[in-house]
Amino acid sequence: MSNSSRDNLAHSGDADLDAMFERLVRDHSPRLMAIARAIVGRRFSPEDVVQQAFANLYEHRERYDWSEPMPLLRRAVVNEALRLLRRPPMSPIDSVQVGEDASPDGRVLQSETVEQVRRAIDQLPDHFKAALVLCEYERMSYPEIAQELGITLQQTKTWIFRARRQLEHKLAEFVRDGRSVK
């Protein structure tokens, strides 16, 4: 981001959103929505999570260094998602609303296996989900994840490893249950 763009972002006081900020939303929201969806599952709308994260950042935009926006945006989304999950559970939102059936090319997820993976991931503890999605989807290193989540390196490794083991057990359960139903 150029210096002038950064200045624009930091000092725009108009009711209209800054053009640079709008571009940030357009460029990064798909990935951020996926991260949010992976963490909040069906308990909250990922769109609301991302919008709130952007709103928080926009309100205090002069405080941040916008030269590297993605880590900042990602952290805001992860924090917002985990903050929401700490609230008392609400009824699951409509799955169509979260956009999981409306992927970019309009394809519909029909794979039973992927659906089982989704169910298994949704049942993981929230912090495990956050660590796993940052590791595998965002391809962040362990130290980066530790910094992002505010935990130790050892904790990060433990969470990711346990998340994978728990997923395996869940999937094995689903397969077993599926067979016994048949």
Q: Which DSSP category does 18 fall into?
A: P
Q: Which one of residues 73, 135, 146, 149 is an interface residue with another protein (CB under 8 A)?
A: 135
Dist. CA 131–CA 90, nearest whole Å: 23
In the bound complex, what is the minimum distance in angstroms from residue 180's beta carbon to another protein? 22
**Binding status of residue 124 toward another protein by CB under 8 A:** no
CA angle 161, 33, 3 (to 5 degrees): 105
Q: Which is nearer to another protein, 47 or 126 (CB)?
A: 47
139 contact partners, CB below 8 Å, separation of at least 6? none
Closest Cα to residue 147, out of 166, 134, 129?
Answer: 134
**Binding status of residue 164 toward another protein by CB under 8 A:** yes
CB 68 within 8 A of CB 88: no
Q: What is the DSSP string of 68-101?
A: SHHHHHHHHHHHHHHHHHHSPP-PPPPTTTTTTT
**Binding status of residue 117 toward another protein by CB under 8 A:** yes
Q: Which is nearer to another protein, 46 or 83 (CB)?
A: 46
**Binding status of residue 112 toward another protein by CB under 8 A:** no
Tokens 């926006």, located at residue? 69
Q: Which DSSP category does 42 fall into?
A: T
**Binding status of residue 44 toward another protein by CB under 8 A:** no
In the bound complex, what is the minimum distance in angstroms from residue 35's beta carbon to another protein? 8
Q: Which range touches another protein (CB under 8 A), out of 28-36, 61-69, 79-87, 172-180?
A: 28-36
Query: Would you tell me which residues interact with another protein (CB under 8 A)?
Result: 14-17, 21-22, 25-26, 29-31, 33-34, 37-38, 46-47, 50-51, 54-55, 58-59, 98-100, 102-104, 107, 109, 111, 113-114, 117-118, 121, 132-133, 135-137, 141-142, 157, 160-161, 164-165, 167-168, 171
